[in-house]
Each structure stands twice: as structure tokens, then as C-alpha cells.
Structure 1
């Protein structure tokens, strides 16, 4: 599994929520408690998006996709000048000035459906833990992906399915949205505005990219610099220097950081013992793992787990 696929797989807590809006201007909707990652696309009609409390905003053309990262409120509208009419908090809609929210037009489809309406798709992703944060670090608060033939084909498929209500529909929508997200991330990362972390840029190097993939595929393997160098066909010294230059840290420092990221999420989400988590990330000795974890996170694995346990 490649590194981006690994991050997406580990960061997913549950299937995404997909909705369609068909609304004639003027319209404006604020999402007060959005998830960590939102994907939105316009299929036609005027549309704009603004991250509230900041300077990030954009007007969207048909076929463009916007990725919104972070939990701050954001607003979508036909125009940046249209004041909010509806506030969405979680799964509750509140109409500003009173009144009732309009009923759905079709499964997962809202608005008035009148001629001249804007048509938008929205996918909300719940990402988990430290791996989720690592993925979000790749993105600015608002990333606009230009329309393209590959994302356009995926958008057409998602638009054709979102209003249907057939057996397995949630699974179909989740996978189509995943496809659209990966294509959008690819397009954004290849664009001129992307300010990507060093480890992601290093994926383009054949040797260092292969080494990163090996560490992500099997963090429990007892990797050494020599073993990684042999796997990618380089001398130990040449590989170590090249890795540090491209990634910004030595190979084993990167490996330790990735292991602690995986371990933090295992401790938060699972019921395995500290010893089992230690083995899962390459430590045969629970004490050595606890020392490494405390050095990285400032607290012991047990304290980390208790602090993040769900409160009834």
C-alpha cells in the first residue's frame, strides 16, 4: 500500500456523509460544527465558500472541488455577499429568523429544486486521531481543485447515485466519495499552490519513496538503516544522506515518529494492552516502548489512553 493510501485507510473512523443541494439563488448555509475534512463540488450555478473567522474564500465554477480542513465554521452560498439563511449544527438545521427547514427533495437531496438552481455535492469526513491530523497537515484551510476530466467523471458518477435509494447505496456512495477525494488530493498536490510537507515531496524519489512505503506498510518490522538501504538498492551512507536531505530527518527518526503516531491511535481506539500496542509498532519490550512514547508525547501510554477515553 502506498503512503497516501495508508494515511487515508488509517485515518478513516466511519463512512462519510454525502448530501446534494439544489437551491435557487439567493441562498446561504453555514456549517457551524463541520467535521475535520469536507469535500464540496459545484455541478452548475453560482457558488462560493468562505471559512469563517479567516480570510480564506473562493468562488467556484462548475466542476471545481474545494477541500475544507479544520473544525472551524464555514459558509457556502450563491455569493459571498449573501447573508446566512440556515445554520447546520451536527445534523440539526436552524433557519435564521425562524421558520422550518424544507423537507428533502429526494434521498440525501435538499433545496427547492427550482429552475436556475445551483447544484452542489457535499461529503463530510470524520477523520481520527494523529493519523488524521497528519493527513490534514497536507492541506490549507481551503484548497480549490480545478475542474478536470478525471474528477469530472467521478463527480458525474456521484451525482447520478446520491439521490437514489437502493440496496447497498451507502456503500456505493462511500466508495465513490473516496474515489473523488483521492483524485482531488492528487490534483491538489500536483498543483502550483500546494505547500506540501517534506515527506510527501520525497515520495517522488524512487529510493526514498520506496523506503517510506516500506515503513508505512510494516511499522512493526525491526528496520535498520542498512536494511532499508539494501531494500532500495543503495549503500547505507548514501541512503541515509539522501533520506535526511529530502525528508528533513534521518530514516529511523521518521520511523519512530510514524510508530508513535500509529501507537497513539491504537491506544485511543483499541482495547489492546500496552504490550500488544508495543508489539504492533515494532517494540518487543513494553518498557522500551513506554520510554519512546513518553519522549514523543510527554506522557506514558497508559496516561495517554486514560486522558482520551470516552466519558460517559
Structure 2
């Protein structure tokens, strides 16, 4: 299983939020919700995404992946001053801080200044990708644009239709559709822009490397060596090492160490697991050995990371019905 598959098998992917935003010009919205990754698909009209040093004009059929948690701006091409701001907790306010969620709410999953506006955009976002997910999201630019026609329009159309109705199990259906569109968008972007540091994201075509990656991803607790992985892949040790570096961008055991620590970092979110139990799951001989490697990689101890994850979150907008544009949902 590759990190892209692992990202969307991760429990935190279930927190994806989705809605249909319908707008009439002039409109601009400041987004500061802190989401890890946001998907935007233009259904009709146009919109401009301003994140980082470049503005991106999107047209019908275009899909954009916006990497958080930094704030960004979305609006029509006029550059009109913002009429709304989205904050953590889905708190929707005017630029001067007045509540706006009632005025712009068009139902459970529709939002905007005009329900029949000519600009319509599907918005979906992941509150947190997790450390494993960041193997993927950290490779993306501030905004990764996939032009119309590069991915199958079917899942986007299904997502659009599902957002316009209500029914049993809808949140599960939306989660799966969001995952499919996001995965397809990442695949298409990586194929057109192979990341130099993580070439595997564009797809690993070397069968020996695929075998080695699958072994490390699915059995991280195994005491893998390059020789052992090579035997599994039926190639020489030197051959696997060279092919792995060429396909993945780093030596096999360095990649394995990063993978194990990313898994451990996510597992620290489960308060029922001891450090020794986590160490056993990800291939370290003891909690002490894991703690040493973890501190070297991340600059703080597992205990400090666990305290940070358990810290209470300021419930901004608590008690309000989620109305906003790109944020999270359960």
C-alpha cells in the first residue's frame, strides 16, 4: 500500500467537509479555517484562487488542490474586497467580525450569496491529513491545478449531484466521492509535474520497488533489511538499492524509517496505546528506541507530541450550524 492509499484509508480522512458554493459577482471570501487539504471543482462560471505567490483562474471542469493550513482567498476575477471570512470551527463572519452564517446558508450543504448564482464550486476539505498523509500533501505546491479533461468528470458530477440532495448514508457517500476525486486529482497533477524529491508520487512502475514498498507499508513491524527486501523482490541487494533510490528518491531504509515514524506519530493520537505498544507496531525494539528516533526526526519527544495532540481546541463557532466554504465535516 502506497502513502496515497494510506492517506485515504486513514481514519482522519473521514472528517472531510463538503458543500456547494453558489455565488454572484462581485464576491471574494477569505479562508482561514486551517484545513490540511482542500479540493475545489468548478461546476460553472469562474473563480480565482490566491494562495502563495501566484493567482490561479479556474474554469468549468478545472479542479484545484489547496494545501493548508495557511490562509488563502477565493473569489471572482474582479479582485473585489472580501465579503466573508471563514475561520476555524466553520465560523463564517463579515470582514468586520459580524456573524454571516444565517445570511449565506442555503441548506445543509449549500452556501453562498445567491442560490442561483452563475458561479458554482464544489468545495471539500480535510481537517487533518496526519503524518502519513503529509507524505503526499507536503509534496504539493500551495495550489495544484488539474485542468478540465485530465480526470474523469463522472465522480465530480456525482459529488455535485449528491450535494444537492439529502438521503440515508449521505455523509459516507460524500466521503468516498471526495476521496476518489482527490486521489484522481493528485495522480493527474503528479503525472504532469513529477516531484523531484518524491518521484514515487507520479507512480512506481518498477515491479521490484513496488514489492519492497508494499512490504514496508503493510508490515512495518518486520525487521527489514535491504537484503531481505531484495530477496522478496527477487533481485540483488545492490540492484534493489539503486532501483529504489531512482524510483522513490531515497535509500530503502531511510524511507522505511520515515514511514515508521509517521505511523508512530499518528498512533500517538490514541491515548490507549502505550509507547512500547506503538513501538512494537511500527518496528522499534522498545519505547525508548522509538522515542530517541522520534525526537531526532521531529525535534520533540513522543510525550510532548501526545500532550500537544490532547490539548483542548478553542471551539470557535461552537454550537453554530456549519455553514462555511472550505472546512471540515464528519
Which stretch has the larger CA shift, 188-197 or 128-137?
Answer: 188-197
CA RMSD of aligned residues (A): 2.4
Q: Deviations over 1:79-125 (max 9, x none)?
A: 152221111113121134668552533331123123x6111110011
Contact 1:262 1:281 in 2 (8 A): yes
Corresponding position of 2:23: 23
| Mapping of residues 29-108 of structure 1, within 5 Å | 29-51=29-51, 54-90=52-88, 91-96=90-95, 100=100, 101-108=102-109
Tell me by how many angstroms 1:231 deviates: 1.3
Contact 2:4 2:133 in 1 (8 A): no
Q: Which aligned segments of 4 or more residues in structure 1 are displaced greater than 6 angstroms?
A: none
Tell me by how many angstroms 1:194 deviates: 5.3
| Mapping of residues 1-312 of structure 1, within 5 Å | 1-10=1-10, 12=12, 14-51=14-51, 54-90=52-88, 91-96=90-95, 100=100, 101-111=102-112, 112-114=114-116, 117-148=118-149, 150-192=151-193, 197-200=198-201, 203-311=204-312
CA distance in 2 between counterparts of 1:99 and 1:239 reads 58
Q: Deviations over 1:222-270 (max 9, x none)?
A: 2121221011110122212332344343222221221111112212344
Aligned residue for 2:30, secondary structure, equals strand
Contact 1:64 1:147 in 2 (8 A): yes
Contact 2:21 2:120 in 1 (8 A): yes
- Alignment length, in residue pairs? 309
Which stretch has the larger CA shift, 31-40 or 241-250?
Answer: 241-250
Aligned residue for 2:38, secondary structure, equals strand
Tell me by how many angstroms 1:303 deviates: 4.0
CA distance in 2 between counterparts of 1:145 and 1:92 reads 29
Contact 1:39 1:66 in 2 (8 A): yes
Contact 1:102 1:110 in 2 (8 A): no
Contact 1:8 1:135 in 2 (8 A): no
TM-score (norm 2): 0.85
| CA gap 1:75/1:120 in 2 versus in 1, 3 angstroms | same
List gaps (5 residues or longer) in structure 1. none
Which stretch has the larger CA shift, 67-76 or 93-102?
Answer: 93-102
Contact 1:11 1:132 in 2 (8 A): no
Tell me by how many angstroms 1:204 deviates: 2.9
Q: Which has the higher contact order (CA 8 A, sep 6+)?
A: 2
